[in-house]
Amino acid sequence: MNRRSIHVDGFSHENPVPAASRIGDLVATGAVHGGGRGSDPGEFPADFGDQAAAMFDRVAAILAAAGGSLDDALKFSLRLSAAEHRAELNRQWCTLFPDAESRPARQVSIGTTQPHILVQCEVLAVIAGNGGDDA
C-alpha cells in the first residue's frame, strides 16, 4: 500500500511531519492545535473557545485534503490544558456532532505539549474511496 502525506495551508509542525498520513481508507493526524504554523505562542488565541474552534476547523480542512470530512472521523484523542475547559469542549463537540447516535469516539486527557496550547487533538478517520492512491 502507498502512504500519502496530507498537508494543509496555514498549518505545519515544527518537526518534519505532515498534518496527517493516509494509507488506504485510514487517515491519522498528528497533533492538531488551534494556533498557526509550528508552536509560536504569538500565533495562538488566548481564549480556549477560539483555540478549540480553530482546531476543529483545521481537522475539517485536513480531512477534506485527505478526501473526506468530519463525518469520516472515527476517534478523537483530545488534550486540554485544564479540566475546566471541558464544558466549552462539550458545547463545541455537540454543535459539530449534534446526532448523539453518530458521534466519533472520544478520549480526553489533561496536559498539552506547550503552556500556550490550550487544546490539541489527534484524529483517526476512515475515508472510503480511492484509498488516497490517486490523489
pLDDT digits (tens, 9 = 90+) for 79-101: 999 999 999 999 999 999 999 99
Q: pTM here?
A: 0.92
- Supply the pLDDT for residue 134: 43
- Supply the pLDDT for residue 47: 97
What does the domain layout of the chain look like in residue ranges?
A: 3-126
- Supply the pLDDT for residue 130: 59
Residues in the chain with pLDDT values less than 50:
132-135
Q: Give the type of residue at 108.
A: V
- Supply the pLDDT for residue 131: 55
- Supply the pLDDT for residue 135: 41
Which residues on adjacent β-strands are paired with residue 134?
none
Long-range contacts of 9-17 (CB under 8 A, 24+ apart): 10/36, 10/37, 11/36, 11/37, 11/58, 11/61, 11/62, 12/37, 12/38, 13/38, 14/38, 14/39
CATH for the stretch 3-126: 3.30.1330.40
